[in-house]
Chain A
């Protein structure tokens, strides 16, 4: 009923970051790839939003579009991304370049392939500084050493002349973080920053990110498929599926009363250490849709176990819109709100039950 149309009018924004109807299409030989299909969200300074979804749900493309890294030569980018009052989508390349690395920065999934293999850490960090600041090389180097110290690299004045391949995975990601934060950006986009790392290192990197966020007052867009991480660090969460936002709201709200069947499925399929050995995981059946031939109605319909609760062919033929279900909580689903909530309660109870059952198991 209360569509978000109201918020979509006007051409400028007072928000720190406001994404409106972002659309990214890639023409390919096989057809048009609908990577991101009218995604909207906003972010306040110093806050964290998590974008979650399976591989191929459009989350990384969304991030790259926000950084202006999707060139208009290879893709159609529509909609608006207001960042500190300016629209990134309509900005020219040079304006964007000045913004990148200075006001907004990005870290990536695989720090080894994301650092240039032929240049020393020092050279890559100094470059990051000198692209945006008029300082001497030695001054930039001092800044780099100080930043490496901040991200927890021991004796940075000695490690700084190392090459990426001489560092461990965790250290490399620390270098990436140092490089991203060295110009104190207002926004950091972290694209699966812990996915390629050892579990023990993952926690350290997350802790580092949150402590640096406090120090620098950086807003973070965290792209991940690790729901545990989301619960830990994010304020808001945007669930993406098939290039569309399917659920969006504050983390507590979305995790405690998820309404979209896909979000439910994600929560149910998280492996837990306290489950009984041999007990089966509860995955979502089927595969994510091809972004070229998306289902006509609801993108999740082919895998949805609740669609029979909707009359006739609605799920298969009519595209659902994002609807507000409670304050700040948006859901894209044809199921009536009370049915969605009832399903969620039942599913969460089931998850909790298997949890308790296994807790009692040893006796």
Chain B
């Protein structure tokens, strides 16, 4: 087990480095020049060159990448020759010249809205998706099943920007049922937090729940036909327990897999939903950084998002033997 974990963690590190390398490479072929963007209206080729040198952008890409990787492990110092050098401690994700902030600080500041959005939406869609899926499975081929499957298909097909904008337009702007979303920490003003988050949660939940309805329904139909379900009923186990403890448990593996990856994907930033509801999360930060060609921030966010996905993969894999005792990790 320890050996397995060690091997997996090594692979996680390698994978993350590869991902950062790919992002670096992609930036190297972009036509935009970050040095040009640091230069205001009164710009001369000399200033651009000076800035380029100051930012280290005149180094070969491979050297820039090496400095980045080195910074991850031992930290790095920016503007070492200037009177006010900036110390970026390990793990140093980089420094945004555009914003004059360390990337890790920016990510820390923008993470809470993304975190709350992801967690709330996740809980909402899992509860709705799984229970509706079970209900549909129990009413298989009846009108309730067909209605649920039909609605799920529509939900699955709706894009988040559409659902989000419709909510925003009717509920906030037209009917004034909720104030205009303005993010605040739940520890500062819980009411305003909930008023802001409820629509983004529902928006994300509608789209994702649809998938879990279908997945749960399929899984339940498969396990409900199993011999061990018949055994449970023959034992006199209550039907509710048969469903939840025997049938659902047996069909849980794919649901947990999908849930882990979906949650991790959201933690890296729900770009569209954050943009629609103007939540200052990682998704919003990512968009503006891309627009600004702010390479350090883009690489940082990409790494954080990739980190969540890779860790979710690892956690899901570690959960398999907990769910199914026949699985052994090797």
Who on chain A is nearest to B232 by CB? A116
A99 touches B230 (CB 8 A): no
A41 within 8 A of partner (CB): no
B233 within 8 A of partner (CB): yes
Q: Closest approach, in angstroms, between the C-beta of A198 and any C-beta of chain B? A: 19
Q: Which residues of B contact A225 (CB under 8 A)?
A: none
Q: Closest approach, in angstroms, between the C-beta of B273 and any C-beta of chain A? A: 36
**Cα A180 to Cα B231 with chains together (Å):** 9
A165 within 8 A of partner (CB): yes
Q: Chain A 162-179 against B: per-residue CB contact (8 Å), 1 yes, 0 no?
A: 010100000000001001
B228 touches A116 (CB 8 A): yes
Q: Which residues of A contact B3 (CB under 8 A)?
A: none
Question: Which residue of the partner chain, among B226, B234, B239, contacts A93 with CB atoms under 8 Å?
Answer: B239
Q: Which residues of B contact A340 (CB under 8 A)?
A: none
Residues of B149-168 whose CB lies within 8 A of A: none
Q: Which residues of B contact A179 (CB under 8 A)?
A: 231, 235
Which segment of B126-134, B255-263, B320-328 sits at the interface? B320-328
Q: Closest approach, in angstroms, between the C-beta of B265 and any C-beta of chain A? A: 27
Residues of B197-254 whose CB lies within 8 A of A: 226-228, 230-239, 246, 249-250
Q: Chain B 311-330 against A: per-residue CB contact (8 Å), 1 yes, 0 no?
A: 00000000000011110000
**Cα A117 to Cα B327 with chains together (Å):** 11
Residues of A110-137 whose CB lies within 8 A of B: 110, 113-118, 120, 127-128, 131-132
Q: Chain B 132-156 against A: per-residue CB contact (8 Å), 1 yes, 0 no?
A: 0000000000000000000000000
Q: Closest approach, in angstroms, between the C-beta of A146 and any C-beta of chain B? A: 18
B236 touches A118 (CB 8 A): no
Question: Which residue of the partner chain, among A102, A108, A114, A116, contacts B250 with CB atoms under 8 Å?
Answer: A116
B324 touches A117 (CB 8 A): yes
Q: Closest approach, in angstroms, between the C-beta of A336 and any C-beta of chain B? A: 43
**Cα A206 to Cα B179 with chains together (Å):** 74
Q: Which residues of A contact B228 (CB under 8 A)?
A: 113-117
**Cα A322 to Cα B239 with chains together (Å):** 38
**Cα A198 to Cα B231 with chains together (Å):** 22
- Assuming the A-B contacts A118-B249, A118-B325, A165-B326, are A132 and B231 also in contact, with contact meaning beta carbons closer than 8 angstroms in the complex? no
Q: Chain A 278-296 against B: per-residue CB contact (8 Å), 1 yes, 0 no?
A: 0000000000000000000
B226 touches A97 (CB 8 A): no
- Assuming the A-B contacts A163-B325, A163-B326, A165-B326, are A116 and B239 also in contact, with contact meaning beta carbons closer than 8 angstroms in the complex? no
B230 touches A108 (CB 8 A): yes
Please count how many residues in chain A sit with their CB below 8 Å of the partner chain's CB atoms.
30
A114 touches B237 (CB 8 A): no
Who on chain A is nearest to B250 by CB? A118
A127 touches B227 (CB 8 A): no
Q: Which residues of B contact A113 (CB under 8 A)?
A: 226-228
Q: Which residues of A contact B230 (CB under 8 A)?
A: 64, 69, 108, 114
Q: Which residues of B contact A64 (CB under 8 A)?
A: 230
**Cα A165 to Cα B325 with chains together (Å):** 9
A249 within 8 A of partner (CB): no
Q: Which residues of B contact A230 (CB under 8 A)?
A: none
Question: Which residue of the partner chain, among B231, B238, B324, B326, contacts A108 with CB atoms under 8 Å?
Answer: B231
Who on chain A is nearest to B230 by CB? A69
Residues of B31-55 whose CB lies within 8 A of A: none
Q: Which residues of A contact B234 (CB under 8 A)?
A: 67, 69, 100-101, 105-106, 180
- Assuming the A-B contacts A93-B239, A108-B227, A114-B228, are A100 and B233 also in contact, with contact meaning beta carbons closer than 8 angstroms in the complex? yes
Q: Which residues of A contact B323 (CB under 8 A)?
A: 118
Who on chain A is nearest to B142 by CB? A73
Who on chain A is nearest to B236 by CB? A101
Q: Closest approach, in angstroms, between the C-beta of B222 and any C-beta of chain A? A: 13
Q: Closest approach, in angstroms, between the C-beta of A75 and any C-beta of chain B? A: 14
**Cα A102 to Cα B234 with chains together (Å):** 10
A110 touches B233 (CB 8 A): no
A116 touches B238 (CB 8 A): no
Who on chain A is nearest to B229 by CB? A116
Q: Which residues of A contact B237 (CB under 8 A)?
A: 97, 101, 127, 131
**Cα A110 to Cα B227 with chains together (Å):** 8
Interface centre among B231, B249, B250, B326, by most chain A C-beta atoms within 10 angstroms, is B231
A357 within 8 A of partner (CB): no
Who on chain A is nearest to B323 by CB? A118
Q: Which residues of B contact A110 (CB under 8 A)?
A: 227
Q: Which residues of A contact B227 (CB under 8 A)?
A: 108, 110, 113-114
- Assuming the A-B contacts A163-B325, A165-B326, are A115 and B235 also in contact, with contact meaning beta carbons closer than 8 angstroms in the complex? no
**Cα A179 to Cα B230 with chains together (Å):** 14
**Cα A102 to Cα B236 with chains together (Å):** 8
A308 within 8 A of partner (CB): no
B236 touches A132 (CB 8 A): yes
Q: Which residues of B contact A72 (CB under 8 A)?
A: none
A100 touches B250 (CB 8 A): no
**Cα A74 to Cα B307 with chains together (Å):** 49
**Cα A105 to Cα B237 with chains together (Å):** 12
Q: Which residues of B contact A93 (CB under 8 A)?
A: 239
**Cα A120 to Cα B326 with chains together (Å):** 11
B246 touches A131 (CB 8 A): no
B235 touches A69 (CB 8 A): no
**Cα A97 to Cα B232 with chains together (Å):** 11
Q: Which residues of B contact A117 (CB under 8 A)?
A: 228, 250, 324-326
* Extra inter-chain contacts (12) besides given A106-B234, A110-B227, CB under 8 Å: A67-B234, A100-B234, A101-B237, A106-B231, A114-B230, A114-B231, A115-B228, A116-B228, A116-B231, A176-B231, A179-B235, A180-B234
Residues of A within 8 A of B (CB): 64, 67, 69, 93, 97-102, 105-106, 108, 110, 113-118, 120, 127-128, 131-132, 163, 165, 176, 179-180
Q: Which 5 pairs, one residue from A and one from B, show the smallest C-beta to C-beta distance? A: A101-B236, A100-B236, A113-B227, A101-B235, A106-B234
Q: List 16 A-B contacts (CB under 8 A).
A: A97-B236, A101-B234, A106-B234, A113-B226, A114-B228, A115-B231, A116-B246, A116-B249, A117-B326, A118-B324, A118-B325, A120-B325, A127-B237, A131-B236, A179-B231, A180-B234
